[in-house]
A and B are shown apart, each in its own frame.
Chain A
Amino acid sequence: KAGVTQTPRYLIKTRGQQVTLSCSPISGHRSVSWYQQTPGQGLQFLFEYFSETQRNKGNFPGRFSGRQFSNSRSEMNVSTLELGDSALYLCASSYGLAGADTQYFGPGTRLTVL
């Protein structure tokens, strides 16, 4: 079974621009979560989607948004980029909603904001 895929793997943007990141979950998985990883803040939860509905959202400003499509693929968008948005963005998928369900992570998208 193919793993979680994320595109693109690397992105360079300038302040004020917007960016869209894509995530394709493992086949059959319906839950997709997004995380931001930075050296200063570590791994922080952004949001979670299940069956095209956002179920949970982390403590991030409204510039961060996401969506999920009927095939479970997900996108996240960051508008009006700031230097502090430079990070590794990780997507994870799982089969269901139970907290015990293992989340499988993709390789991440490295976003650099200049």
Chain B
Amino acid sequence: GDSVTQMEGPVTLSEEAFLTINCTYTATGYPSLFWYVQYPGEGLQLLLKATKADDKGSNKGFEATYRKETTSFHLEKGSVQVSDSAVYFCALSETGFQKLVFGTGTRLLVSP
């Protein structure tokens, strides 16, 4: 079945550092890929998405590129802020289905 693998956390960074959170996937078809963020005590918020190969999703300084050849969708940000501290989830959904398959989540801690 479909699956998503994320790097283990927590990822601990200083403010203004560069962020990369790795995400790879296994899917039978051509899925859409998503990054969601969860702040403490809240639900999930969509951060960005990409629906086909070579698409780049971007939002609030975060970027991720859909790489079909490496089945990856790594999340990057050039300069993190303390307010970016949260749990980040990579997810996929197959064409025609609304079922999201999530990775285990990566906790990001940014210190001043």
Chain A contacts to B: CB under 8 angstroms: 4, 31, 33, 35, 42-43, 45, 48, 50, 55-56, 58, 90, 92, 94, 97-108
**With a CB–CB cut-off of 8 A, which chain B residues contact A31?**
98
Measured CA separation A100–B44 after assembly (Å):
17
* Size of the chain B interface, CB-CB below 8 angstroms: 26
Q: How far is the CB of A49 from chain B (nearest CB, A)?
A: 9
Q: Please state if B98 and A99 are interface contacts (CB–CB under 8 Å).
A: yes
Q: Please state if B98 and A94 are interface contacts (CB–CB under 8 Å).
A: yes
Looking across the interface, which residue of chain A has its beta carbon closest to that of B103? Answer: A42
Measured CA separation A31–B49 after assembly (Å):
19
Measured CA separation A103–B44 after assembly (Å):
10
Q: Please state if B44 and A99 are interface contacts (CB–CB under 8 Å).
A: no
The 10 A-B pairs with the shortest beta carbon distances in the complex, nearest first, are A99-B93, A43-B102, A105-B43, A105-B44, A100-B32, A100-B51, A107-B43, A99-B95, A45-B99, A48-B98
